Amino acid sequence: MKQNLFRILLAVGLASLAISCSLHESDTLDDVFRSNDFDARIESPEGIDTKVYADDKLRVLWDEEDHISIFNKYTFNQEYRFTGETGDNSGIFRMVSDDEFVAGNELDLIYAVYPYQESTSIDNDGILTVTLPANQTYREGCFGRGANTMVSCTSDKRLMFRNTCGYLCLKLYGENVSVSSISIKGNNGEPLAGKAVVVSAADAVPIISLFPQATTEINLNIDVPVRLGTTADDASAFWMVIPPVTFDKGFTLTVTNSAGDTFEKSTTKPFSISRNTLSRMSALKVDFGSSSEPIESTLEEIAYYTDGTLVKTKPVRVMAKTMRGFILTDDTRTMLLYTTTKIEDIAVGDIIKVTSTFQHYRELPELSGIISYECLSSGDTPTYPTPTDITDRSDFDDDFFKDFQYISFRGALQSIISNNIGIGYIIERSSDDELLPFYTFYPYDYQNTDGYSIGDTVRAEGYFAGFNSSNLCIIITSMTITP
């Protein structure tokens, strides 16, 4: 797989779960296989609620670079790689390396396990030992890579993979909530992850049993925190793979937000997860309680908050400065901090944390006002990205103006303005009426007009920062006179 183990496809209007074979009826195995190739397909989960999915059918699909274990009539674990494309339900698996052969005991049948793990083993009676992951990775609309353990048992080279576990879909919503992890555990200590044995037979449902020392909690890790929908109707879905189990005394969910706060919800009613079946819970509202403390977040996370949210940035670098604010950036995005407060001891290149209020100015997400700030380091010179030159560009789409892009342009200096917000320049890109002029603020650190004259041709670089009347506003980082 590229980033996730499976792709879930909701194929609207399918009449059945039947999967077409990847071989033509006239083909033989020898026509399409190398000597050690296997043809593999996947059974589809059952129990889809037609009230939610109408006539849609849920299917589990392969991703490129999926790897499996095959015990080819020997107890030696061999690694095979999927040769098809992401989205295929069936295709060819090919041995990763046949340079070295390690002998094993003979088996009557061929066994296969997804995903490949070096620790996966089989005994002389065909009983598999696998490891169910205690930590799963979030994927939008699906379960994560390596979460769904499947097995196959066959006498030939056609593998039908059957799911050993079931699926739980949680739906969460809340105001200003970004989720970074979710965990589930039974209130009676039911085993959920770790080493397990699987009994698999040809054309039979696999039976899985966890070892007594198994883990009793499954955690869903969310690398990039997910911003929840705000109502039950637009609740965000999270998938977990869980072995067949009955939570006799219910279970407990623990939700952690991007600030490290936790929300816990328990049910005491018995709840069962069945093999190969999707179970869902009603939408649950997540509320971490009111707090006057700001939410410490990346700029990307902040961009999805509700206007008026009190926030504290994680470390950000000051890329540009004017009398009315700063351009800030981190590894996730760039944002304007707009303020009328004159801050002398923050300089371009500094790394800071700032507490502010999030809001939108027109469609641009920005920080409004400085409540407090902390300078983490100073004296550095920022490295600017390669600018997008827009000198002759007139075909701007709406998306272009929804971010603080770093741009450059060349034009004639039309006027110089000095007022309470600093030194401003109006630069005409062209005499073409279709091209917008630019009203630009020079950085606060360079309040100096020496060397510039009306009519000069200049080349400017800087950050797009919205509109002033019909002009584009640019916070300039450099401006030079050109021939």
Query: Could you tell me which of 197, 199, 167 has the C-alpha nearest to residue 184?
Result: 167
Q: How far apart are CA 108 and CA 64, in angstroms?
A: 30
Residues 6+ apart with CB under 8 A from 247: 186, 187, 188, 190, 270, 271, 272
Domain ranges within the chain, ordered by starting residue: 7-285, 295-377, 388-481
**Which CATH code for domain 388-481?**
2.40.50.140
Could you say which of 2.40.50.140, 1.10.3470.10, 2.30.42.10, 1.10.569.10 is the CATH number of the domain covering 295-377?
2.40.50.140
Q: Are 144 and 136 in contact (CB under 8 A)?
A: yes
The values of phi and psi at residue 439, to 5°, are -100, 115
Residue 396: the pLDDT is 61
Closest CA to 473 of 425, 435, 433, 415: 425
The answer to whether residue 269 scores a pLDDT higher than 90 is no
Give every CB contact of residue 383 below 8 A, 6+ residues apart in sequence: none
Q: Which residues contact 94 (CB under 8 A, 6 or more apart)?
A: 34, 36, 37, 80, 81, 83
d(CA 111, CA 70): 6
pLDDT tens sequence across 20-55: 222 223 333 344 344 679 998 888 765 433 222 222
As a whole number of angstroms, the distance between CA 303 and CA 123 comes to: 54
pLDDT digits 0-9 by tens, 321-371: 887 788 999 999 999 998 866 777 888 999 999 998 888 877 788 998 887
Tell me, what's the pLDDT at 362?
A: 72
pTM of the model: 0.57
Q: What is the mean pLDDT of the chain?
A: 79
Question: In sequence order, which residues have a C-beta less than 8 Å from that of residue 129 and are 6 or more positions away?
Answer: 119, 120, 121, 122, 123, 195, 196, 197, 198
Q: Is the Cβ–Cβ distance between 21 and 28 less than 8 Å?
A: no
The domains spanning 295-377 and 388-481 adopt the same CATH topology: yes
